[in-house]
Amino acid sequence: MINGTMRRMMTFAAVLSALVAAPSLAPAGAGSGDVAEKVLRLPMTTDGPKSLDPIVGSTTYENRCCSQIFDTLVQYKYLKRPFELEPALLAEMPVISEDGKVWHCTLKKGVRFQDDACFPGGKGREIVASDVFYSWKRAADPKYQFKSYWLLEDTIVGLDEFKEAQQQSGSFDYDAPVEGFRLINDHEFELVFKRPVQQFMWKLAMFQLSIVPREAVEKYGDRFNRHPVGSGPFMLENESDWQIGTSLVLKRNPNYRDEFYPSEAMPGDAEAGLTKAAGQKLPIADRIEITFFVESQPMWLKFEAGELDYTTVPETAYEEAFSRRSGNLKRPYEQRGITAHKVPLIDFIFRGFNMEDPLLGGYTNEKRALRKAICLALDWDEMNEAYYNGTALVYDGMIPHGLDGYPEDGHLPNAWRGPDLERARQFLAEAGYPDGQGLPVIDYYTSSGGTSERMAALTARQLAKVNIRINPRLVDFSTLMEAVDNKKAPFFSFAWGSDYPDAENNLALFYGPNEAPKPNHFNYKNAEYDRLYEKIRTMPPGPERTAIYIQMRDMVLEDCPYAGSMARIRHFLVNPWLLNFKPTETFYTWMKYLDVDDSKRPGGSSR
């Protein structure tokens, strides 16, 4: 029985909704012709991208958005794990010369940019080899503050010199030649490298190296980041479709190249229904509506109300969705057909030591012993329980889950994983500080805010058990980076998200020439390690390379320039009407594979 209040509420709702839904007020394009339109409604935490120009993009949010609008030369195979690459704009994978220094690339023919006023007649023209060179030269243009130049630095013959010369000239000449960019014809080109760089293949799939049309950049200038023109599966039809900080609406790009849903899959994919769409033309959806959420609460509520196709589970909602004891999705969600996916991120969360610090740095047995004592006093499982609901992945070594060199089940016998207070005390004595006597207070730099402050307190408490005292320096992130870059932080909390799924990216963190302010924040130096690193950069994947990865990992473990490690796990909840979704956060080109079954949505229609 409906009581009076409920009846009044329903009447109010009915009147307002009748007004809101009045046909004369419907937005443009919401006519009857759109009934069959497939719309993806996706969330994005934070206030979204700052720019839709790939060359200035650096965050995961820019990656997610740019990856829909722009295309790269190669891309990740959607269903394959471990990750593998396949041609995207290229007709085939680059053909590599015997010495590994020359890559011959052939573009697919007939692939066009999206239609835009920057092209004659507004029709998107065909992508040619010179577009690749133009797009990549932008990374060397000071106008873009070299945000993406690290991808090409010290790699392609003549590019560094080109950058210097252009910078000195004061005006950037995109037509000036670069020795390592060899144009053969409109569809073929060669890349000449200073040395064989195997990992460059991964970079070809990175959104920053997407291909952009020169006409658009020149026509829109600084507005190109608000008016992107690409050749990706979706496009920004109007600038107003991107409400900065609020929402982004992308529409299917009718010019998108012929690409079809893959049939190559992993065991279990067929059972999960991920292969049903094999052979279907991409993109499957007609429109993507991305909503940005600075706060996770409204995102969660919107998912609960069936207005989002999937969500990541905010920490605050973890126990609402999952059983704390078993980690399984709770029954009410299962009953609604919602599925849960746990995706380990390629994360390396650690506490770093500055190897040049007079107290903690150095390579003598005493110095190593002090660092090992600190490692053994730390309890990463407790941190995981306290701050990640026990869902993060604690592992040994610096190579994250899923990459060559990751230890089986995450454990290594030669790692210094705590808590082992007895051994910690022994090492402390070996270091010359029995029971911590005489050991000065260690400055520990970590960023302020969020869980960092509480984690610093826990770190201090754990270390205090063996009489190691730290002075937590809670600073803003910029100051933390400055202190680490200037080698002023003896002990610091940091994390590294791999740029691509190859352990080389993590091993580079300990390569001597990469010392701070470059990513070797530990200032770790080991000639043998450096020699091996230079060797693996040129090696193709295989058992031989993996063996060297392991050797390098163990060398670092022995010298102990960091304590750790841990990786976060992203929890996705997926509504039953979202099809073909195999969640990952390693690449973001997957929106073109997604489909929706509107009949399963609440009310049986788009909302």
Partner 1 sequence: MWSFILRRLLYNIPVYLGIIMLVMALLRVRNPVYAYLGKNADQKQIEEFEKSFGLKDPFIVQYGRFLWNGARLDFGESWKYKGTTVREKLLGAIPPSLSITVPALVLTSLLSITVGLLSAFNRGRLLDRLLVIAAVLGMSISFLVYIIFGQFFGAALPRNVFGDDWPLAIVGYGAWYRMSSVDIFGLTIPVPDALTWVKFCLLPVLISVIVAMGYDTRFYRAVMVEECNRDYIITARAKGAPKSKIMFVHMLKNAMIPIITRIMTTLPFLITGSILLEMYFNIPGMGRTLITAITDMDYPMIQGFTAVIALLYILSIILTDVLYALVDPRVRLS
Q: Which residues bind partner 1 (CB under 8 A)?
A: 9-10, 13-14, 16-17, 19-20, 22, 25, 27-28, 47, 50-51, 53, 56, 58, 142, 144-147, 149-150, 221-226, 240-241, 243-247, 249, 291-295, 297-298, 301-302, 304-307, 476-479, 481-482, 485, 496, 517-519, 602-603, 607
> Smallest distance, Å, CB 18 to partner 1?
9
Widest distance between CA atoms in the chain: 82
Residues sharing a CB contact under 8 Å with residue 462, sequence separation 6 or more, in sequence order: 377, 378, 379, 382, 418, 419
CA proximity to 472, closest of 446, 437, 507, 450: 446
> Smallest distance, Å, CB 564 to partner 1?
17
Alpha carbon separation from 213 to 118, 131, 217 (Å, rounded)? 9, 6, 7
The residue among 22 and 527 lying less far from partner 1, judged by its C-beta, is 22
The residue among 136 and 189 lying less far from partner 1, judged by its C-beta, is 136
> Smallest distance, Å, CB 137 to partner 1?
17
The residue among 51 and 462 lying less far from partner 1, judged by its C-beta, is 51
Cα 200 from Cα 40, distance rounded (Å): 33
CB atoms near residue 276 (< 10 Å): 13
The residue among 62 and 379 lying less far from partner 1, judged by its C-beta, is 62
The residue among 246 and 280 lying less far from partner 1, judged by its C-beta, is 246
> Smallest distance, Å, CB 526 to partner 1?
21
The residue among 65 and 249 lying less far from partner 1, judged by its C-beta, is 249
The residue among 426 and 479 lying less far from partner 1, judged by its C-beta, is 479
- What strands lie across the sheet with 562-567, from one edge to the other? 393-394, 562-567, 347-353, 491-497, 442-447, 470-475
> Smallest distance, Å, CB 228 to partner 1?
12
Q: How many residues does the chain have?
A: 607
> Smallest distance, Å, CB 150 to partner 1?
4
Q: Are 498 and 505 in contact (CB under 8 A)?
A: yes
> Smallest distance, Å, CB 192 to partner 1?
23
Q: Are 40 and 28 in contact (CB under 8 A)?
A: no
DSSP 326: T
The residue among 279 and 298 lying less far from partner 1, judged by its C-beta, is 298
The residue among 247 and 389 lying less far from partner 1, judged by its C-beta, is 247
> Smallest distance, Å, CB 146 to partner 1?
5
Tokens of 305: 């109300």
The residue among 50 and 214 lying less far from partner 1, judged by its C-beta, is 50
Cα 590 from Cα 261, distance rounded (Å): 11
> Smallest distance, Å, CB 270 to partner 1?
33
Residues sharing a CB contact under 8 Å with residue 153, sequence separation 6 or more, in sequence order: 159, 160
Residue 538, CB half-sphere, CA atoms under 13 Å: how many?
14
State the DSSP string of 405-447.
TPPGGG--TTS--S--HHHHHHHHHHTT-GGGTTPPPEEEEEE
Q: Are 396 and 410 in contact (CB under 8 A)?
A: yes
Cα 378 from Cα 419, distance rounded (Å): 6
Cα 44 from Cα 308, distance rounded (Å): 11
> Smallest distance, Å, CB 299 to partner 1?
8
Residue 351, CB half-sphere, CA atoms under 13 Å: how many?
30
Cα 166 from Cα 376, distance rounded (Å): 51
Tokens of 162: 């080109």
